Structure 1
Amino acid sequence: MSDPLSRVRVTGPPRRRAHVVRAARTREIDAETALGEVFMRSLLREQLVLALRVLAALALTVGLLPLLFHLFPGLGDVRVGPVPVAWLLLGVLTYPWLVVLGWAYIRRAEHNERDFADLVGSVLPEEDR
């Protein structure tokens, strides 16, 4: 019989990963030099801009729905078949839109990380590679 205190690690299927920057190429970043600071600032700025774009897209679509229903109260009475339009917009169409935004965010964030890895790999002197 197995030991009751033994742990089993359960993992899911492998995910796609952005290219990993080798340890030798991260020396500037790890040492917190001025060049490493510039690298990190550029990556963080790109990821922040991406997050703000996704939040703006979310705010301009799902976030403005309550304002739309407030400005046009008759829209609450409109039905598509037996289902009110408000239910379709908020309860059905919102979730696929959130999935699309999440998918686009992850793809672009991984792209930013690959670009960062390429930048770090191309800027360092030849002897560091």
Structure 2
Amino acid sequence: MTPGRTAEGADHPDRLARPPRVRVTSSRRGAATRRDLRPLTRDLDEQTDLGEVYMAGLMSAQLRLASRVLIFGALGLGGLPLLFLLVPDTRTLEVVGLPFPWLVLGVLVYPVALLVARYYVRQSERIEREFSQVVGRR
């Protein structure tokens, strides 16, 4: 006969009150798991491999933004002479007493350039803000 069992094979009343068995795999069950306390800014400052990966991501995002803005500007400004060449009527067209090419190049280009510059600055700040959040989150 095994301890805790009666002759009939039923569980002993003391066995019913005990909690089920638990398998212990570590003596520090309640201990908090160790988290890497090294901040990402330290990786950036020390130029570790991880820091270089984050910086490469930031620089590629900034390069993509700058490329988009430059391509837009090159197509916009480069397309105007092409427009004047392919559509000869635009060379002699007058709007409010001013020649159309002068109006476009002297008046219309500057507000568009300011809008593009504003877009660039806002997007650049957004990229840097997101980078700072990622760095600060870790």
Q: Which residue of 2 aligns with 1:94?
A: 109
Check if 1:32 corresponds to 2:47. yes
TM-score normalized with structure 2 length = 0.69
Please give the per-residue CA displacement for 1:20-76, whole angstroms capped at 9, x wherever unaligned: xxxx54111111111100110000000000000111111222221011111122211
Check if 1:119 corresponds to 2:134. yes
Paired AA for residue 60 in structure 2 = R
Please give the per-residue CA displacement for 1:84-109, whole angstroms capped at 9, x wherever unaligned: 11111100000011100111100000
Paired AA for residue 131 in structure 2 = F
TM-score normalized with structure 1 length = 0.73
Q: Which residue of 1 aligns with 2:86?
A: 71
Paired AA for residue 77 in structure 1 = T
Q: Which residue of 1 aligns with 2:5?
A: none
Tell me the CA shift for residue 121 of structure 1: 1.5
Aligned residues: 100
Which aligned runs of 4 or more in structure 1 are off by greater than 6 angstroms? none
**Partners of 1:42 and 1:104 in 2: how far apart?**
20
Query: Is the 2:65–2:124 contact (alpha carbons within 8 Å) kept by the matching residues of 1?
Result: yes
Check if 1:51 corresponds to 2:58. no
Q: Which residue of 2 aligns with 1:6?
A: none
Query: Is the 2:62–2:124 contact (alpha carbons within 8 Å) kept by the matching residues of 1?
Result: yes
Between Structure 1 and Structure 2, whose CA radius of gyration is higher?
2
SS across alignment from 2:78: coil
Structure 1, gaps ≥5 residues long: 1-23, 125-129
Paired AA for residue 108 in structure 2 = L
